[in-house]
Amino acid sequence: MKKIQILVYGKHPEILETVLRLINKNDAWEGEGSVDEERVIELYHQNQYDLVLLGGGIPEDSEKKIRALFQHLNPQLQIIQHYGGGSGLLKSEIEMALAKGANDRLQLMDNPFGE
């Protein structure tokens, strides 16, 4: 089974490390990330991600740049904000984003019956 690929961009190394540990602890997910904007962009170009997680503390201009670039490259890509709050909240945020993305993709499909 293919794991859900998650890219994390945060500004606090300790928090980023914790978030990645929690993501990679889930058998269905695989995460990597960086505190460096250019490294995050590099990672994005090197891999196929299902979800991008933005941590707190990212400068507004950097967040806008990342959102605009990634959405331009992949309009279906889910990008969510994570402010902290523990592993339960992180898991819930990721699951909700993945469910929303799956639902959005289903709505974009053509009706096979032509109705």
| Domain boundaries, given as residue ranges, for the chain | 4-85
User: For 102, which DSSP code?
Assistant: H
Residue with tokens 């592993």: 87
In angstroms, the CA 87 to CA 79 distance is 18
Q: How confident is the model at residue 108 (pLDDT cuts 50, 70, 90)?
A: very low
Q: 22, 64, 36, 30: which is closest to 50 by C-alpha?
A: 30
66, 43 contact by CB (below 8 A): no
- CATH class of the domain defined by 4-85: alpha beta
Look at residue 63 and tell me whether its pLDDT is greater than 50: yes
Look at residue 91 and tell me whether its pLDDT is greater than 70: yes
**Dmax over Cα atoms in the chain, in whole Å?**
52
**Helical ranges in 26-108 per DSSP H:** 37-46, 60-73, 87-108
Look at residue 107 and tell me whether its pLDDT is greater than 50: no
Q: How confident is the model at residue 85 (pLDDT cuts 50, 70, 90)?
A: low
CA 70 to chain centre: 10
Look at residue 36 and tell me whether its pLDDT is greater than 70: yes
pLDDT at residue 86, as a whole number = 61
- Average pLDDT taken over every residue of the chain: 85
Residue with tokens 């490390």: 17
Q: How confident is the model at residue 1 (pLDDT cuts 50, 70, 90)?
A: confident
In angstroms, the CA 13 to CA 22 distance is 14
φ and ψ of 102, to 5 deg: -65, -40
